[in-house]
Amino acid sequence: MPGSNLTRVEAEERKAIVAAPIHYAVSLDLTVGAKTFGSRTTVTFGATEGASTFLDLIAEQVTAVTLNGETLDPAAVFADDRIALTGLKATNEVTVEALCRYSNTGEGLHRSVDPSDGNVYLYSQFEVPDARRVYAVFDQPDLKAVFDFDVLAPASWIVLSNMPVKATEDDPRMTAEGTLESHPAETCKRWTFEPTPTMSSYLTAICAGPYAEWHTEYANEDGRTVPMAQYCRQALAPAFAKDVDYLFDITKKGFAFYAKTWGVPYPYAKYDQIYVPEYNAGAMENIGMVTIRDQYVFESKVTDALAERRVVTVLHELAHMWFGDLVTMKWWNDLWLNESFAEFTSTLATAEATEWHDAWATFCSGEKSWALRQDQLPTTHPIVAPINDLNDTYVNFDGITYAKGASVLKQLVAYVGRDRFFEGIHNYLGKHAYSNATLADLLAELEATSGRDLKAWSALWLEEAGITTIVPQVETAADGTITSLTLAQTAPAEHPTLRPHRLAVGFYNEDPATGAIVRTDRIELDVDGVATAVPEAAGRRMPALLLVNDDDLTYTKIRFDQVSLAFAEENLHRFDDALARAVIWLAFWDMTRDGEFPAERFVDMTLRLLAHEDESTTFRYALSCMSTAAWHYTPTDRRDAVVRRVAATLWDLAQQAEAGSDNQFQLVTAYLGYGEEGDAEFVRHAAGLKSGEVSLPGLEIDNNLTWTLNRALASVNAMDEDEIAGELAKKETTENREFAMGARAARPTAKAKAWAWQAAIQDESLTNMQLEAVAHGFAGTPRADLAEPYAAKYFETIDWIWAHRTFHMAEALLEGLYPVYADPKSLVDLGDAWLASHADADNALRRIVIENVEGSRRTLKVRAYNEAL
């Protein structure tokens, strides 16, 4: 794989040599052409005299290197994406001039051309180590520095960085041909920015292009006025203008909530949020200028789940300004400190400071279900993960680092108390502001405020992998009162650690007045060890359902007593509390994927829930998990019947749903994923919705839904390549190009799959988002005959992909092209053989393969359970 893979040992060795203060003067020339840009960096830094170290730089060409006044031969000092620095002095100055390459992969400085108007948009993405794709740098988080940026760009553009603009200067030079597709030659302007505070290189940022802009300001709690701005592509401006005031309001609520909660006002000079195209992640917490994927600019109707996720994302990145940016981890093993904290506090802020009051139900159904799945893979790891190199870091942006960590932080708040927890956070932020810290530093502050021994807590919760299961053991008298209740905790053999829990047990019964199932009693207690008695339950009447981990305070798998299990299966849709429904539903899904609950009964229970559920994320994940159960877990001889029953029920529910509702929209969208070639009724529904011959009250067939219908028709061979091209020609935008490629790849023909396979792997002109669309369309056809030819080919191609594509593109290919609908036994056998022959392969690569194969292994296990019923 191109690019050097910095190890933790190398980073520690460099940190021991390079000393503060470190300062960068970075000049970028964005007028050179459409493929490359100029980069000139002067770094001043202290060092151990006589020592040697290196700068990181991934560049097309290094044209000049000067160290302490001596001109060095680039050919002699630049190799393997590093610039060797030898014979260092106590104080040093090195200047590197280079030609760097724009990316179309969302790494480094990404360049996107909007086909609707020809406008060019640039944005940077530097986490984990991609500042080195733009300028020469000590690219590790604990070598914080001050940065001065200046940028030469076309005069018509807006240029943004972490800090406010200090000055602009017109430049009579003209841009090179190809720099601007829409305006091939124009004069230039230089933007010079204020110096940054001391910060890590991965948090620096540059964005440039003719972005549309909106401005306001915030009266900060420290008395300053903080300028705020939002930006997006010109093509999206009309849609975004409708949401800008709302998003400014959400951001201001976040400023106030965080400043109040941990007693530290927003620390930076400005706060920009820029919605950018073809983004690899949800968003990135660059200091003072957050980049966000512009799928969050809603031109078409979206689910309430996505609208809420946008709010959580905005608040997540804002939380990083304090936790991750102001105080940064020393090395990537403490990545969870950034992500878990931002995930926890953004959910808390969403629930308490916005209209999305059921955010913890959203977290349970969405984020926590992600964590449970990740934590039961062979690749599970402690929250504080061992990170030996950069590739280890890449693959740890996962359900454990984000969702399990956030859930465990919620448990920690319950364990130590909310006020004491946030008092400790206040002290932590104050003590380590503008520097780096470790888990030990955080725990020291929380111990001081709470009085709890958190070293033992950390050892069990943060430094050991795996998840426990808690099962209620209940005995009742003849009159229905509880005589004893014990909570039994178990752990899997491969991760046998039992953990202390602060949790609640909820009692749920029918409300005679309304018919809803409501909580009628609650016991909160500490649980530890193999068995914990609950003496407070004795003498209370056994409820219709006894819910362990009520309010979702802790991170654990739960099971039910037999009475509660039967009641929940039949009555889940009647529970009045969204969080209770989410906790119960997640337990049923976990039992289903563990082969402890029949897949068809889970499907039936989910269909009953969908007729009533009003929490959008629970609805979304219920649809998704039901699809997995129907397509992969049901017995082979029953699968077609189950899938058709699900499709028919979804269509019926969509017709019964409230006009224009989120449920109606999700049901229609889900139904369109169940098409089978030769199903005339499906084609009639999909084609009719598109033409208007079939209609559902309140359902608008907008751009994105039109493309969902196009893909659905293509997936059953009711739309050919020429028709897809014709649909794209009606409105060719960045998004519609991706939709069209995905639709073409989804066609159920050998020719379409061969094109998709070849394009995804070989066509490097595809952007990251186009590649993902093609891969998703390729693998998403539920037909074994189309997937089988690629089972062996997939494992034969892994090494080539890993060697020739950047990490993010290799990951997208290896995850997206996995032929999940091929025979799972064949995939397991091929996967095990590949792993056995690649024992020395990069850990990150092995992890991707192991997780793919484990999905097939689980399918075999759960399908066998259901076939044996």
Q: Which residues are catalytic?
A: 317
Cα–Cα distance for residue pair 62/82, rounded to 1 Å: 11
* CA–CA gap between residue 130 and residue 92 (Å, rounded): 24
| DSSP classification of residue 573 | G
Q: What are the φ and ψ backbone dihedral angles of 729, each rounded to 5 degrees?
A: -65, -25
Q: Quick check: bond before 21 cis, omega within 30?
A: yes
Max distance between CA atoms of the chain, in angstroms, equals: 93
Identity of the amino acid at 753: K
Radius of gyration of the chain (CA): 28
- Tokens (6 digits) for 264: 């530290």
CB 176 within 8 Å of CB 33: yes
Long-range contacts of 562-566, Cβ-Cβ distance < 8 Å, separation of 24 or more: 564/472
The two three-digit tokens of residue 597, written as one number: 């609950």
Q: Are 196 and 163 in contact (CB under 8 A)?
A: yes
> How open is the CA angle 611-612-613, to the nearest 5 degrees?
110
Burial group, residue 446, by CB count within 10 angstroms (0-12, 13-18, 19+): buried
Residue with tokens 């098409």: 675
Residue 648 identity (one-letter amino acid): A
Q: Which token pair is 818?
A: 């996995």
Residue 596: count other Cβ atoms within 10 Å of its Cβ: 12
3-state class (DSSP) for residue 354: coil
Quick one: which of 401, 398, 400, 373 has its CA closest to 586? 373
The residue with tokens 């690019």 is 3
Do you know the residue count of the chain? 869
- Distance between CA atoms of residues 737 and 329, nearest Å: 39
671 contact partners, CB below 8 Å, separation of at least 6: 647, 650, 651, 654, 685
Question: Which structure tokens are listed for 672?
Answer: 């369109």
Distance CA 776, CA 772 (A): 6
For 708, the enclosing helix (H) or strand (E) is helix 703-715
Distance CA 841, CA 794 (A): 16
**Beta-bridge partners for 86:** none
C-beta separation of 611 from 619 below 8 A: no
Smallest CA-to-CA distance from 201 within 89, 124, 293 is with 124
SS3 524: strand
